[in-house]
Amino acid sequence: EAGVAQSPRYKIIEKRQSVAFWCNPISGHATLYWYQQILGQGPKLLIQFQNNGVVDDSQLPKDRFSAERLKGVDSTLKIQPAKLEDSAVYLCASSSHGYGNTGELFFGEGSRLTVL
């Protein structure tokens, strides 16, 4: 079974530039998550999709971050404009469990963003 795929693995940009990350979840997984992991911290949820609908984006900085999941499969996370404090690893995860049901998450390898 193929895992969660993310790209790019690494990205370096200057502040005020924009960047986009892509995620392809495990086939058949209805739930997709984007987490932000700042160095020395645990992952923090940014947004959760159930199929192509958003079920939780309470911690997404909506003035600069946006995410979409077209057709309930792939997802993109965009940052525009980037700030220095956005430097982090952006982790995509998927789950076969729906909203409100517990179950393990399968994480991708992450996309490391450095903002200069």
CA–CA separation, 49 and 75 (whole Å): 9
- Name, in order, each residue with C-beta under 8 angstroms of 10's C-beta and a sequence gap of 6 or more: 111, 112, 114
Tokens of 50: 């159930």
Q: How far is CA 1 from the centre of its chain?
A: 21
The verdict on 105 binding another protein (CB under 8 A) reads yes
Q: Which stretch binds another protein (CB under 8 A): 15-23, 63-71, 72-80, 101-109?
A: 101-109
The verdict on 33 binding another protein (CB under 8 A) reads yes
The verdict on 109 binding another protein (CB under 8 A) reads yes
The verdict on 22 binding another protein (CB under 8 A) reads no
Q: In what order do the strands lie in the sheet with 19-24?
A: 5-7, 19-24, 75-79, 65-68
Q: Which stretch binds another protein (CB under 8 A): 20-28, 33-41, 60-68, 73-81?
A: 33-41
**For binding to another protein (CB under 8 A), which residues are involved?**
4, 31, 33, 40-45, 48, 55-56, 91, 93, 95, 97, 99-110
